[in-house]
Structures are given as structure tokens and as C-alpha cells.
């Protein structure tokens, strides 16, 4: 599969606990729609320590890991499967850099600039590669058939 923008891709977005608590969902969804993404699936869930640790396993040896897990389990999250051409890279562009403080300076129109607080509390997640996207979508939703109708979703 390619990531050159020529084929439809799916990616995983999460509105993190601070994003949901701050009532940013509607504004984030407006950005999603304005950026040309389709929402394939969405679900609200409360991550426990084990599920959050598995989801972010790549960071398990980092100094910020325990703080990240505490943050991601501090309240419910909204998990969304997005689809469009070049979805993985385009969603990363739309959300902006990891550090929301820097995002406000360098990418003022990004989602993290809009609703993020700092390097940790940055209000949204985006898969970092096609491979990560596939793993993360399966983690929350199991397998989604490639022929699935755009616009079908199970909640909200």
C-alpha cells in the first residue's frame, strides 16, 4: 500500500480526555469535515491502565510514560476512524506538532493549537504511519472491511 496520496487510507484519531472535557468535539469535527475526511467509525470509551499501556507500548521505556498513561486514563476519549486519500499524513498535518505550546506559535491553525495545553495535554492523537493506523484501528474496532460504506458508524 502507498502513502503517496493516490489511494484511500484510513487513520485513527482520538480526542483525548482534555479535548472531550473542554467541549472541543464539535469544533474538531468541523475541522475533520472541512479537511475532507470521512468518519467511518466512532466510539466513546474509557481506557484503563492496561489498554492505554498497550496502545502506547512504543513509549513504555520513556520517562513520560507513566504520566501519559495517567493522562489518557483520566477520562473518556472519543476514538474515530478517518478516511480520505493520504489520510495518515494529512491528519498529522491537521493536528499539528506534539507540543501544543509550540503549535500555537508555529501552526496556529492546527487542532493542537486550538485545544491543546502543553507537550502532554495536546487534546488529539493521530496515527504516525499506515502500519500504526492499521494496528490502532484493529485495537479499537477489529477488522474493518475495505469495502465498507463511508459514513457508516456505530455510535453518535
Indicate which residues carry an active-site annotation: 125
Distances (CA, A) of 118 to 1, 99, 103, 124, 134: 34, 6, 9, 12, 28
The verdict on 139 binding ligand RTP (CB under 6 A) reads: no
What burial class does residue 121 get, using C-beta atoms within 10 Å of its C-beta: 0-12 exposed, 13-18 middle, 19+ buried?
middle
Residue nearest to Mg ion (CB): 128
Rounded to a whole number of angstroms, the CA Rg of the chain reads 15
CB of 70 to ligand RTP, least distance (A): 11
Q: Please, which residues have CB within 8 angstroms of residue 154's CB and are 6 or more apart in sequence?
A: 41, 42, 43
CB of 149 to ligand RTP, least distance (A): 27
Footprint of ligand RTP on residues 9-48 (CB under 6 A)? none
Residue 27 marked ligand-binding: no
Residue 16 marked ligand-binding: yes
Footprint of Mg ion on residues 114-143 (CB under 5 A)? 128
Backbone angles phi, psi at 95, to 5 degrees: -80, -30
Nearest residue to 5 via CA among 85, 89, 92: 85
Asked whether 110 and 96 are in contact (CB, 8 A), the reply is yes
Footprint of ligand RTP on residues 51-70 (CB under 6 A)? 59, 64, 68
Residue 135 marked ligand-binding: no
Q: Which of 46, 66, 98, 109 binds ligand RTP (CB under 6 A)?
A: 98
Annotated binding site for ATP: 16, 64, 92, 98, 112, 122
Q: Which residues of this protein are in contact with ligand RTP, per CB under 6 A?
A: 59, 64, 68, 98, 119-120, 122, 125-126, 128
Amino acid at each position: 500500500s502507498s502513502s503517496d496520496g493516490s489511494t484511500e487510507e484510513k487513520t485513527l484519531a482520538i480526542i483525548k480526555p482534555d479535548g472531550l472535557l473542554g467541549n472541543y468535539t464539535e469544533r474538531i469535527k468541523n475541522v475533520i469535515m472541512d479537511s475532507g475526511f470521512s468518519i467511518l467509525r466512532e466510539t466513546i470509551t474509557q481506557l484503563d491502565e492496561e489498554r492505554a499501556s498497550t496502545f502506547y507500548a512504543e513509549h513504555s521505556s520513556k520517562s513520560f510514560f507513566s504520566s501519559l498513561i495517567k493522562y489518557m486514563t483520566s477520562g473518556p476519549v472519543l476514538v474515530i476512524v478517518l478516511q480520505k486519500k493520504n489520510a495518515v499524513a494529512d491528519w498529522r498535518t491537521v493536528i499539528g506538532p506534539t507540543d501544543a505550546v509550540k503549535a500555537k506559535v508555529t501552526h496556529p491553525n492546527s487542532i493542537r493549537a486550538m485545544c491543546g495545553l502543553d507537550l502532554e495535554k495536546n487534546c488529539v492523537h493521530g496515527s504516525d504511519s499506515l502500519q500504526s493506523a492499521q494496528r490502532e484501528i484493529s485495537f479499537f474496532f477489529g477488522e474493518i472491511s475495505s469495502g465498507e460504506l463511508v459514513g457508516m458508524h456505530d455510535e453518535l
